[in-house]
Amino acid sequence: MRDRLWNIPGVMVPFLFSAFSVFSISMIVPQLASQFRTTISSVLLSIPIDFIGGAVGGVLLGYAADRYGRRMIILISSALFGISTLVASFSISLSMIYVLWFLIGFGVNAQNGVSYPVIVETLRRSSGTVGGVMQSFYFLGFLLDSVVFIFFHYWRTYLMVAGIITLLFSVPFSSMIRETGGRRIAAGRETDPDFIRHTVAFSIVVIGAFMFSVPLMAVVPTLLSSVHLSTYYLVFLSLLGFTGFVLAGFLSDRFRRGYVAMAFTGGGVLFSAIILLAGVNTYFLEMLAAVYIASGFFSFTGIWVSENYRPGSRALATNIVFFSGRVVGGFSPFLATVMIPSSLASGISVVCLISGAMAFFASLYIVMMKTHGKS
């Protein structure tokens, strides 16, 4: 057991740099549009392409992780997104950026999806807290992108440095992982009578989590700029998001995960509705800050999903659930911008309101299944 504790930094450090890698493009969108003589919206297509790649990679490599071991798949996926980020610095066309961001998503989301079973199989308990901290690295990875961009402003140099840093940290830490799955577990897999119901319900929760969270990192920077608020507020909001993720993960270990999910999603729906009704008023930042904290329900969803499946199908099942979330969530920034074209704040609010409600009722259904002993 003590040897397996190396698994915690072994998955968490690559998780941090997976976020660093995948969000790196958000810092250079205008430069890429200028370089390849295209529109910003065309460059932003790389985001849903990334999530589609993640959906495909998650399922394929999740399947492999249940049969050949978690460690090898995490090591391969970490190398893939690191190398792809580095190669992106040599891109000669927007199409090449699309292909490389598909590969980055393929590796990133496979790494993320297999990390949850590793945490569950390593710790057995208090996995929600660790999962919450790990998931909060999305915000820290985004902040790391900002810091690197300050020092390396030209897009080719920036991506080259980002790729090198990612490889230097992700691959060595991935190699520290002690195996928790593999052929022995796959050979002993049993039929799960609740597989379909679990998968449908958790898929709705995860779709809601992605749709709620992704616009907060992808669209809010543009929103703050449009209402003439300093982008330094992003640091504050990111730290609040980090705090919300850690807090939600901690609470999910002390109380039933479904109840914590409903509390956070309910709050998210409430504060999103207030922003929708009130608009950008005196208390706009306070309400937006509350929405960032409420996004913390995403923090333990991977752990929650993984612990409800049998070991022999855990990695694959987790990635099947996350497949739909990645595909739909990848388009949520676009939906937020077109939902109410006259008001970006209202568009974000509507997306968060709808996705929060989806996650709330799906969590309620899961709690009712458990309460009535149907699973």
Contacts of 43 (CB under 8 A, 6+ apart): 25, 29, 32, 33, 36, 94, 97
Taking 60 as the threshold, does the pLDDT of residue 183 lie above it?
no
Residues 151-157: what's their mean pLDDT? Answer: 93
Q: What is the pLDDT of residue 125?
A: 61
Instruction: Label residue 76 exposed, middle or buried (CB < 10 Å: 0-12, 13-18, 19+).
Output: middle
Burial 115-137 (b: 16+ CB within 10 A, else e): bbbbbbbbbeeebbbbbbbbbbb
Q: Which of 148, 183, 218 is the endpoint of a domain? A: 183
Looking at the structure, do residues 59 and 176 belong to the same domain, yes or no? yes
Quote the pLDDT of residue 188.
46
User: Has residue 291 got a pLDDT over 90?
Assistant: yes
Q: Give the pLDDT confidence of 50-91 residue by residue, as tens digits.
A: 888 888 888 888 788 877 888 888 999 999 999 999 999 999
The answer, yes or no, to whether residue 21 has pLDDT greater than 80, is: yes
Listed in sequence order, the residues at least 6 apart from 228 whose beta carbon sits closer than 8 Å to its beta carbon are none
More confident residue, 155 or 232: 155
Q: Is the domain of 338 the same as that of 246?
A: yes
> Is residue 191's pLDDT more than 60?
no
pLDDT over threshold 90, residue 122:
no
Whole-number Å distance between alpha carbons of 343 and 336: 10
Quick one: 70 and 201 in the same domain?
no
Alpha-helical (H) ranges within the chain are: 7-22, 29-35, 40-44, 46-68, 70-88, 94-123, 127-135, 137-151, 155-174, 183-187, 195-218, 220-226, 233-254, 257-278, 284-294, 301-306, 314-330, 332-339, 344-371
Our CA angle for 355, 360, 364, nearest 5°, is: 150
57, burial (CB in 10 Å: exposed 0-12, middle 13-18, buried 19+): buried
pLDDT in tens, 162-178: 999 999 999 999 888 88
pLDDT given at position 218: 75
Residues 1 and 120 occupy one common structural domain: yes
Amino acid found at 76: I
Per-residue tokens: 207:
């779709």
- Helices in 255-300 by DSSP H: which ranges? 257-278, 284-294
Q: What percent of the chain has pLDDT over 90?
A: 34
Q: In angstroms, rounded to a whole number, what is the distance separating the alpha carbons of residues 76 and 79?
A: 5
Residues 112 and 219 in one domain: no
What does the mean pLDDT of the chain come to?
85
The whole-model pTM stands at 0.77
The total domain count for the chain is 2
Rounded mean pLDDT, 352-365: 95
Domain end: 183, 203, 220, which one? 183
The whole-number average pLDDT for the span 124-131 is 67
CATH code, domain carrying 41: 1.20.1250.20
Q: Do residues 163 and 242 share a domain?
A: no
- 327 with 53: CB under 8 angstroms? no
pLDDT score, position 185: 47
The parent domain of residue 66 ranges over: 1-183
Both 259 and 234 in a single domain? yes
Question: In the structure, what pLDDT confidence band is assigned to residue 4 with cuts at 50, 70 and 90?
Answer: low
Taking only the tens place, the pLDDT of each residue in 315-328 is 778 778 888 888 88
**Lowest mean per-residue pLDDT among 96-105, 121-130, 146-155:** 121-130
